[in-house]
Amino acid sequence: MNLYNNTQVLACAREVTDHQKSSSKLSTVVGQTLAISLLEGAIHSQHSTSRIAPAYLFIGSDGIGKSLAARCFIAEAFGIHKIINHPDVLWIEPTYLFQGELLKESELVDNGVQRKVKPQIRIEQVREITQFLCHSPLMAPKSVVIIDEAHQMNQAAANALLKTLEESKIATIILLSSQPQKLLPTITSRCQQVPFHKLNSTNMATVLEKLGRQDILNNPTVMALAAGSPGQAIAYHNQLQLIPQSILNALLTPPTTPLQTIQISKEIEATLEFQQQLWLLDYLQQQWWSCLSSTDWLSKLELAKTAMLKSVSPRLVWDVTLLPVS
Please report, for the chain, the start and end positions of each structural domain, with discontinuous segments joined by +: 6-195, 245-322
Percent of the chain with pLDDT over 70: 87
In CATH, what class is 6-195? alpha beta
Task: Please report, to the nearest 10 degrees, the dihedral formed by the alpha carbons of residues 262, 267, 270, 271 taken in order.
Answer: -150
pLDDT digits (tens, 9 = 90+) for 54-80: 999 999 999 999 999 999 999 999 999
Q: Return the CA Rg of the chain.
A: 22
Judge residue 293's burial from the number of C-beta atoms within 10 Å of its C-beta, 0-12 exposed, 13-18 middle, 19 or more buried: exposed
Q: Can you say whether residue 227 is alpha, beta or left, with left for phi > 0 and alpha for psi between -120 and 50 degrees?
A: left
Q: Can you say whether residue 94 is alpha, beta or left, with left for phi > 0 and alpha for psi between -120 and 50 degrees?
A: beta
Using the predicted structure, report yes or no on whether residue 289 has a pLDDT greater than 50.
Answer: yes
pLDDT digits (tens, 9 = 90+) for 154-176: 999 999 999 898 877 779 999 99
pTM equals: 0.83
Say how far residue 71 (Cα) sits from the centre of its chain. Answer: 16
The dihedrals phi and psi of 273, each to the nearest 5 degrees, come to -75, 170
pLDDT at 225: 93
Using the predicted structure, report yes or no on whether residue 140 has a pLDDT greater than 70.
Answer: yes
